[in-house]
Structure 1
Amino acid sequence: MKDLDKIYTKKQQEIYRRCVNDDWFMLINHGAKRSGKTVLDNDLFLQELIRVREIASDLNIDRPMYILSGATLGTIQNNILNELTNKYGITFSFDKHNNFTLFGVYVIQAGHSTISHLDKIRGMTAFGAYINEGSLANEEVFDEIKSRCSGEGARIVVDTNPDHPEHWLLKDYIENEDDSIIDFSFQLDDNTFLSERYIRNIKASTPSGMFYDRNIKGMWVSGDGVVYADFNKDIHFINREEAGQLNLSSYFAGVDWGYQHYGSIIVIGTDGNGNYYMIEEHAKQHEEIDYWVEVAKGIKSRYGNINFYCDTARPEHVMRFRKERIRALNADKSVLSGIEEVARLIKNQRFFVVYDIAHRFREEIYKYIWDEKSGEPKKENDDVLDSIRYAIYTHLKYKIIKGKKR
């Protein structure tokens, strides 16, 4: 038991014993980020491959197949294979189909986030599956993976962060009273290997509301009330005089196309301390692309040839910007991930807005609210806020790709 204490938390040991001693068809470990669920599931994946090989040998099957699934092949590599290589020194040799053999089991790698991933697994007989990031799976693909697991003794391990409370994975599987499905919920505090300092800091910096409930407490919840609940007018607004004293070192812009609803271009400046300042806002209705070209040219004349992170909904507008020698880049429009990044900056008091120029922002910031049914914000009062999200989230992603620290 002392040896297990060195590798697994009490929570992980509880689940490990259940998996070894009981028969089950599906195990779902769900909950907070960094809570230890994926570490355990990666080890269970290896044990399942060994078990499958033993079953196949008894059945005289030379090449049993197993499904390893994630949102994309990239996430499988990052969340599972790289971790196993670093931990155990396992070397994976991929064939031309991006599959590999381990412990005598042929492992089929398959994405699950879109319906197009069905082709990779349709028609096969699998002796089990490991599904990473289960809540991101297309429901039809998830069901197909389950159906393919018809080999003798097949079992499915599912690893996931929580989503909204009406999600099919929660309703149809986790809350299902079928005895063949077992599930365990994780909170951040379950990971006793994390330092007290890390836990204290991550709790303090996680945005309030839905993100805290999901990422720290591991709860399947929707947002409630305003999206940016930590925004405080007494902290996050600055005046023109304060803005004039800033020592900003770089600039970038965000663009949300509009006509009936507001179109928006905002400019954000950064200092050397990791702070972000919205220093210009241009928001208008019923304007054609010529108007926005002139706005962008004016911004370029003031700040240089900066990046404009653009809404991809109007590719012809992006192309027009490029023809006008405006550095227009397609923004990453991931809604919840982008909102979380902006909300984290707000929570950490690293995002500020020049009050005097933020006419539309002041209208939107307290009216931008969650839709409790969908788990995402309502598509209202979001034009300037979308352009901010596009700009900050895409900018931060580019910085990470370049290996820079935030």
Structure 2
Amino acid sequence: MPGLSTAQRASILESTGAVNGWEGSIRSGKTIASLIRFSEYAMASPEGHLAILGWTLTTIQRNVLDPLVNLHPSIVRHTRGSNVAWIMGREVQLVGFSDKRSEAVIRGLTLAGAYVDEATLMPEQTFVQLLGRLSIPGATLFFTTNPDSQSHWLRRRYLNRLDALPDWRIFHFTMDDNPALSAEYVEAKKREFTGLWYRRFILGEWVSAEGAIYDSWDPAQHVIPWETLPRMRRLLAAGMDYGTTNPSSAVLLGLGEDDTLYLVDEWRHDPSVTGRRLTDAQISAQVRDWLHEPHLPDQPDLTPEWLILDPAAASLKVQMRLDGERRVMDGNNHVAYGIRTVASLLTLGALHISDRCTGVIEEAPSYAWDPKATEKGEDKPLKVADHSLDAMRYAITTTETVWRPWIDEWTRRSQDAAA
């Protein structure tokens, strides 16, 4: 196995348990090692169904199938969007477990083997159901994950009890175990994360969320006067959080010609301030009027391409479409991923906020983890004064496939300049 590290080789050879897990820091080589092992297993596994499970079919494609193709194109045969793939000639079911119906899909299978991408994201009951479906003699489970909370069910129920689970094999990885990474890349990744994310994704520690969520927030660094905004390549979207008794907020995201992101403007209605609640029709009218206002000092005609709504705002979405607004789409509401993405952008200095975004500026310093959720092993923010921050998260996370190449190139140039 040329090109593999000692840790990768050992994990492939020693992953002979009924359950085999690769955990540790990001970009540590654990995924490639686990995929090589799963591909070998697909060739020699008992007869029966095989399955790959991940957050969505899209993440399965990105995190599992694409890396397998990169290993060798002959390993995988798959049509994008299909929930079936062939790996080493074996049919494999693809199951996204963000959908609550996934447990019912698993319940209907009798499995000879399974691979789970990012196991800590899987609901505990789905994981338990999966273990019960691996009932064919010799059936084997393989999974990868980054560390999560100290109280996460995977750590509490299984990883802390390995002495009582003789059929489990767990392999811990850090970036030092990935021979494909340069020292410059490792240093760049270390600069990208701070606080909780640094300890989990760089050090590979299982630590609980506590304190401020955006611990790198610095108004002196991140907030700029609206009049000094650079020219924008695109106004990507307005992300919107919807409330009836609580505030409603829409935050407009732009991609600057300097290849970084800007929150350029904000619309906000707070019933506790105005003393009146707005109907869906009134919110629709105000937001649609706001979307057509000038949002940039030097580009008054540039308008947002999408209006990204809180997925729970079904009635407002219907109202806006009735009113002729065709740019409406549901936001990506993977909260932990969205928070992590925003935190990384702030740490890198790749996200700037104009002083018109008063809700974001007011809410960011006090945005904190919920200690009661932490006790249950969950990463959840306190649902207090977070409406503009939710709107920001919808805009940033949902448009990531558009802005990510620009940010990655900007990051590379910045690193080269600092070297």
- Report the TM-score, using the length of structure 2 for normalisation: 0.81
In 2, distance between residues paired with 1:144 and 1:33?
A: 27
Structure 2 SS opposite 1:150: coil
Q: Shift of residue 323 of structure 1?
A: 3.6
Partner of 1:312: 311
Change (3 A) 1:119 1:392: closer
Is the 1:277–1:354 Cα contact (8 Å) retained in structure 2? yes
Q: Per the alignment, do residues 76 and 354 of structure 1 end up closer, same or farther by CA in structure 2, a change over 3 Å counting?
A: closer
Do the aligned partners of residues 133 and 249 (structure 1) sit closer, same or farther apart at CA in structure 2, a change above 3 Å counting?
Answer: closer
User: Which residue of structure 1 aligns with residue 181 of structure 2?
Assistant: 194
SS of 1:69's equivalent in the other structure is strand
Match of 2:207 among 210, 213, 221: 221
**Residues 324/152 of structure 1: CA separation in 2 closer, same or farther (3 Å cut):** closer
Query: Which of residues 216, 223, 229 in structure 2 aligns to 1:237?
Result: 223
CA distance, structure 1, for counterparts of residue 197 and residue 83 of structure 2: 37
Whichever residue aligns with residue 387 of structure 1, its letter is: A
Contact 1:188 1:218 in 2 (8 A): no
Question: Matches of 1:124 and 1:298 in 2, distance apart?
Answer: 51
Which position in structure 2 is the counterpart of 1:30? 23
Aligned equivalent of 2:298 = none
* Residues 1:71 and 1:310: Cα distance change in structure 2 (over 3 Å): closer
SS in 1 for 2:176: helix
- The answer (yes or no) to whether the contact 2:21–2:142 under 8 Å persists in 1 is yes
Matches within 5 A, 1:51-130: 51-52=44-45, 63-90=47-74, 92=76, 98=84, 100=86, 102=88, 107-122=92-107, 124-130=109-115
- CA separation in 2, counterparts of 1:124 and 1:393? 33
User: What SS does the corresponding residue of 1:302 show, helix, strand or coil?
Assistant: coil
Distance 1:45 1:203 in 2: 30
Tell me what 1:365 maps to: 364
Mark the CA change 1:144 to 1:229 in structure 2 (over 3 Å): closer, same or farther: same
Q: Structure 1 residues 73, 248: CA separation in 2 closer, same or farther (over 3 Å shift)?
A: closer
CA distance in structure 1 between the partners assigned to 2:17 and 2:404 by the alignment = 40
Inter-partner Cα distance in structure 2 for 1:291 and 1:74: 33
1:303-345 residue CA offsets vs partner (Å, 9 max, x unmatched): 5542322222222212333344443332222212222222222
- What corresponds to 1:299 in structure 2? 291
Match of 2:7 among 2, 7, 11: 11
Q: Name the SS for the 2:101 alignment partner.
A: helix
Runs (5+) with no aligned partner, structure 1: 57-62
- Note closer, same or farther for the CA distance 1:332–1:124 as it changes in structure 2 (3 Å cut): closer
Residues 93 and 233 from structure 1, CA distance in 2 versus in 1: closer, same or farther, beyond 3 angstroms? closer
- Give the whole-Å Cα distance in 2 for the aligned partners of 1:284 and 1:29: 47
SS at match of 1:280: strand
Deviations 1:153-182 (A, max 9, x none): 332222122222222111112112322212
Query: Match of 1:366, as an amino acid?
Result: P
Q: Is the 8 A contact 1:11 1:190 kept in 2?
A: yes
CA distance in 2, matches of 1:123, 1:318: 35
User: Which range moves more in the overlay, 187-196 or 273-282?
Assistant: 273-282
Equivalent positions of 1:159-170 (< 5 A) are 159-170=144-155
One-letter amino acid matched to 2:393: R
Q: Are residue 332 (structure 1) and residue 316 (structure 2) matched?
A: no
Task: Give distance in 2, aligned partners of 1:348 and 1:37.
Answer: 25
Q: Note if contact 1:310-1:330 (Cα within 8 Å) is conserved in structure 2.
A: yes
Instruction: Give the secondary-structure state (helix, strand or coil) at the position aligned to 2:317.
Output: helix
Match of 1:49 in 2: 42
Q: Aligned-pair distance for 1:29?
A: 0.9
In structure 2, which of residues 389, 394, 418 is the aligned counterpart of residue 385 of structure 1? 389
2:87 and 2:221 mapped to 1: Cα distance? 56
Contact 1:270 1:276 in 2 (8 A): yes
Which residue of the partner structure matches residue 127 of structure 2? 142
Q: Which residue type is aligned with residue 202 of structure 2?
A: I
Query: What fraction of aligned residue pairs are identical, expressed as a percent?
Result: 26
Instruction: Tell me how far apart the structure 2 counterparts of residues 324 and 377 of structure 1 sit (CA, whole Å).
Output: 34
Post-superposition Cα deviations, 1:185-205, rounded to whole Å, max 9, x if no partner, equal 222232232011111111112
Instruction: Give 2:198's match in structure 1, choosing from 202, 212, 215.
Output: 212
Take 2:106 and 2:390, find their aligned partners in 1: how far apart are those partners?
A: 37
Could you give the per-residue CA deviations for residues 9-46 of structure 1, whole angstroms, max 9, x where no partner exists? 12112323433xxx522111112221111101111112
TM-score, with normalisation over the residues of structure 1? 0.84
Q: SS at 1:343's partner residue? A: helix
The answer to whether the Cα contact below 8 Å between 2:192 and 2:348 also exists between their aligned partners in 1 is yes
Aligned letter for 2:330?
A: N
Conserved 8 A contact 1:114-1:137: no
Q: Does the residue aligned with 2:289 lie in a helix, a strand or coil? A: helix
Separation in 2, partners of 1:8, 1:101 = 21
Alignment CA distance shift 1:149-1:272 (3 Å):
same
Q: Is the 8 A contact 1:209 1:224 kept in 2?
A: no
Q: Which sits farther off after the overlay, 26-35 or 265-274?
A: 265-274
Higher radius of gyration, 1 or 2 = 1
SS of match in other structure, 1:293: helix
Pick closer, same or farther for the CA change 1:317–1:26 going to 2, 3 Å.
Answer: same
Whole-angstrom CA distance in 2 between matches of 1:278 and 1:46: 44
Partners of 2:234 and 2:256 within 8 A in 1: yes
Go from structure 1 to structure 2 and tell me whether the alpha carbon gap of 1:363 and 1:39 turns closer, same or farther (over 3 Å shift). Answer: same
